Amino acid sequence: MQAPQTRPEPGTRSPAAGDSEVLLSVRHLRTHFFTREGAVPAVDDVTFTVRRGEILGIVGESGSGKSVTARSIMRLVPLPGRIVDGDVLFRDEDLAALSQGEMQRLRGAHMGMVLQEPMTSLNPVLTIGNQVGELFVYHPERTPQGFSVRGAVLDILNRVRIPDAARRLIEYPMHFSGGMRQRVSIAMATGCRPELIIADEPTTALDVTIQAQVLELLLELRNTLGVSVLFITHDLGVVAQICDSVAVMYAGKIVEYNDVESIFDRPRHPYTRALLRSLPQLGTRMARLPSIEGQPPDLGALPPGCAFAPRCPSVVDACRAQVPEPTPLGERGGYVRCFVADDELQADRAAATRSGGGGDGR
């Protein structure tokens, strides 16, 4: 007889291969915006785990809650937004319990953020040398031993391959091309060798060649320094290239979470399938998330039941009545939120039992 298998609560372990230590654990996170029209559940019961050296991709249509998830982790949710429930554990530390000062020290030194448009994260009136140098002025303990501030700045600018960095320290952001500005913002996000980089659509504004270089740089930082990356993107081609695991968001919820191979080879949620179906020649071309028929819902007026039901080709009555809870996928922490997928998983398991196989339920 087989020993009973104990499954983790969905999302509390990483579905990616490998067994390095857990760095970030987000559990049942809810962030709402309190607008005049009522509360908007931008992030609604989001659970996932990132291990050291892991790259997790978060994908989903515009407005699905990707950036608000990232900002919630950094505790940078703009008003009228507020984290209303859930935990964010970073290195086993509950971030909600930290003071603003402690949180500020953590940001930059241990968590770095790269944004979509580097112009907004760089200060136009400070030279590149001065603004990158501020990092080490704020976090002197993270300045590499034996380095002056200037030396540390040059070191990280060389690391992100800014050509002729020593000469360019006195230049301003406007003198840099879009790609070079993005390199500077990656240098700033990674300069203190943080354990986690949150990259929110860092390549969207860049052309394809520069995009590829930025991805390569992130991979290199992971491979050489072992940093973890939370990579937010519209681009499934990029996800296939660099991510170990994927969380697909729809209307504030993660509807499917799994290792990257399972997401692409055996997608379970009809939304994930719809995204993949319209993806041309995966891996060979960059593809934007295609538009799926119908509109994403208004988060302030969600229908009862599954938010994807009005657009779902597989919808059944249950979908319109009740919000599906996460069902585990495999043994490693992945999950799917879908009644139709639940039925399919059950049918697969029954077929596997009949044919004498174990069936891993993925």
Ligand X SMILES: Nc1ncnc2c1ncn2[C@@H]1O[C@H](COP(=O)(O)OP(=O)(O)OP(=O)(O)O)[C@@H](O)[C@H]1O
What is the spatial distance between Cα 107 and Cα 196, in angstroms, rounded to a whole number?
A: 10
Binding at 118: pick from Mg ion, ligand X, none (beta carbon under 5-8 Å per type): none
Sheet holding 93-94, edge to edge: 38-51, 22-35, 81-90, 93-94
Looking at the Cβ atoms of 78 and 101, the one nearer to ligand X is 78
- Binding partner selected for residue 65 from ligand X, Mg ion, none, CB under the kind-specific 5 to 8 Å limit: ligand X
Nearer to ligand X, 15 or 63 (CB): 63
The residue with its CB nearest to Mg ion is 67
Closer residue to ligand X (CB): 67 or 241 = 67
First CA to last CA across the chain, in angstroms? 22
Q: Which residues bind ligand X (CB under 6 A)?
A: 33, 35, 40, 42, 60, 62-68, 78, 81, 299
Tell the smallest beta-carbon distance from residue 238 to ligand X (Å).
14
| Residue 42 binding partner per list ligand X, Mg ion, none, with a CB distance cut-off of 5 to 8 Å that depends on partner kind | ligand X
3-state SS of the chain: helix, strand, coil percent to 5?
A: 40, 20, 40
Give the residue carrying structure tokens 């997928």. Answer: 341
Residue 353 contacts which entry, Mg ion, ligand X, none (Cβ below 5-8 A, type-dependent): none
Q: Which is nearer to ligand X, 303 or 359 (CB)?
A: 303
Whole-number minimum distance, CB 115 to Mg ion, in Å?
A: 9
**What does 35 bind: Mg ion, ligand X, none (CB cut-off 5 to 8 Å by kind)?**
ligand X
Where do contacts with Mg ion occur on this chain (CB under 5 A)?
Answer: 67
Contacted by 299, from Mg ion, ligand X, none: CB < 5 to 8 Å by type: ligand X
Range list of β-strands (E), the chain: 22-35, 38-51, 55-59, 81-90, 93-94, 111-114, 196-200, 228-233, 245-250, 253-259, 327-329, 334-336
**Nearer of residues 65 and 326 to ligand X, judged by Cβ:** 65
| Dist. CA 137–CA 171, nearest whole Å | 19
Judged by beta carbon, residue 71 or residue 168, the one nearer Mg ion is 71
The one of ligand X, Mg ion, none whose footprint includes residue 177, by CB under 5 to 8 A per kind, is: none
Tell me which amino acid residue 360 is.
D
- Cα 177 from Cα 181, distance rounded (Å): 6
Q: Smallest distance from the beta carbon of 40 to ligand X, in angstroms?
A: 5
**Residue placing its CB nearer to ligand X in the complex, 67 or 121:** 67
The distance of closest approach from Cβ of residue 116 to Mg ion in the complex, given in angstroms and rounded to an integer, is 7
Q: What is the C-alpha separation between 321 and 303, in angstroms, rounded?
A: 9
* Burial class, 353, CB count within 10 angstroms (exposed 0-12 / middle 13-18 / buried 19+): exposed
In sequence order, the β-bridge partners of residue 37 are none
| 320 contacts 308 by C-beta, under 8 angstroms | no
Q: How far is the CB of 31 from ligand X (least distance, A)?
A: 8
